[in-house]
Structure 1
Amino acid sequence: MKKYGLQIRAPSQKKQPTLRPPPSIFDEDEDVDVEKEISRQASKTKSHKETEEQLKKALEEDPSAFAYDEVIDDIKQKAIVPKLQDRQDRKPRYVQHLMKKAEQRQKEHEIVYERKLAKEREKDDDLFSGKDKFITGAYKRKLEEQKKWLAEERLRELREERDDVTKKTDLSDFYFNMEKNVALGARGIEEKEEQRKAKKLEEEIRKEEKKADSPAEEVLLPESQDVGSSRKRSMEPQEEEEEKDASEKKIGSDVVPEEKDSSTKEEAKEAPKETTTIQHKKSEDAIAAARERFLARKKAKVEE
């Protein structure tokens, strides 16, 4: 039954603590405690041995298995190094451009100052016209650097004028630059052009090699004609002399032109020898000249 209304809570009764009975003199509690302690120590030693064996096995497998501090240091170092590299690699964006512009302005001021000094010297040329002028090596180098810089600036200005978009009248340059665009396969075009150039070089080298081998034949042809003509020429005086001898014999002369025959024979023997030596020299000169031309062309193509 539930009661409604004011309910007074009954006071809680405190439990009295239970007192342990005093140990008796003849009780065997001490023996039981000693046995428990012995068993506890035995289990401890056993567990220690097992842990030592496990440690030995782990160290045999991996000597750095328990190097926790070193591993943590390595992890921290790996996390710190990229941050340091980022700090080192980060360079200012605009300082380099500002420094280049400052150098450019300084060079322009130096050139203007040198021109001003040159104009002042021109006024005093009449006073020091007959005297020697001494220029140091450093000043010469400075003037050469200024000339070089002016030439580079002139080229840069010409490039800017050429690439100026406001001066373009048609889309020819736009389509020309489309071929250089990497997104549209410009790399493949460059590779094809390189291959085509390499093939051209190989063909030209083969042609030059053929030309280097052919000059000997080309030179021999006219010389062979010369040899034939020289032989004919050497044979003509022999025939004339034979005709003379025959006519003299017919006339009845007793004189035999032995000296003439011997001289003509010697000339006929010497003529082919001279032609062969000249022919050999000409062929060697032609081959050497062809090789020199081939090497010069090859060197020029490699430098390009």
Structure 2
Amino acid sequence: MNKYGLNLRIKPSKPIKRIPLPQVHGFGDDDDGDINQEIVRQATTKKNHRDVEEQHRKALEEDPTVFDYDGAYDKMKEAVIRPVLDDRQERKSKYIGPLKQKAKEREREHDIIFERKILKERSKDDHLFADKDKFVTGAYKRKLAEQAKWQEEERLRELREEKDDVTKKSDMTDFYFNLRKNVAFGAKTTELSKPVKQEEEATLGTSEKELGSASLPERGHICTEKATDQPLDDQIKQEDLVGTKSLEKDQIEERTLDAEKKREHHKRNEDAVAAAKERFMARKRAKVQ
């Protein structure tokens, strides 16, 4: 039956330790057993050490970085640390660079306009200081040189842009000239095949000269040497010019043919209309009669 209320906890009884009885002299264990156990223990310990060293050596032979715990830890944490380092780096804006460049160009333009204004105002007073010495500092000279260089670069850039502007082209000469540089039309293959073709033509010319007369082999040889010594770039340019001229000639012929066809078609239409009118008038006269 359970008891309710304040119940004191009963401490568990501790077991009584018995004092070992002293062994009688002559009947106890010998010290030899303890020595043998120590020898066996040391032997097993040495064997375990040798096994561990052998495993360590084999592991290093297979992979020298097998015990590189610091490197492995750094690689594991690199994926976590790298985004933090990237965020700490300075983030450059995508549009601030061109804006700064444009601001520098405008500042240079304003400086040039201001210098011209100063020179114009000073030219009005040159007659007052004609007999005076003029001194120009080195910094001012460098500034004028930089301004002149920048103006020249801007002029060349504007000329290039105007030259490359397709809206201001009056003909298709540049287009046909640049076909040589277009890989889609076989630019590499044509550039490689042109020297071979020229060599074949040179050899054919020399063979014809040798067959025609036996007294002119040296002259044919000299001609072929001159033809082969001519720079390839000049030959390619000449061929390109010939190609562009032939293309322009073909275009002109096509335009003339189209114009002639249109005129013939128009003439045929006029002849057909005139014939129809004559037939109509003939029928009308026949009805009146």
TM-score (norm 1): 0.44
Structure with larger Rg:
1
Higher relative contact order (CA closer than 8 Å, sequence separation 6+): 1
TM-score (norm 2): 0.45
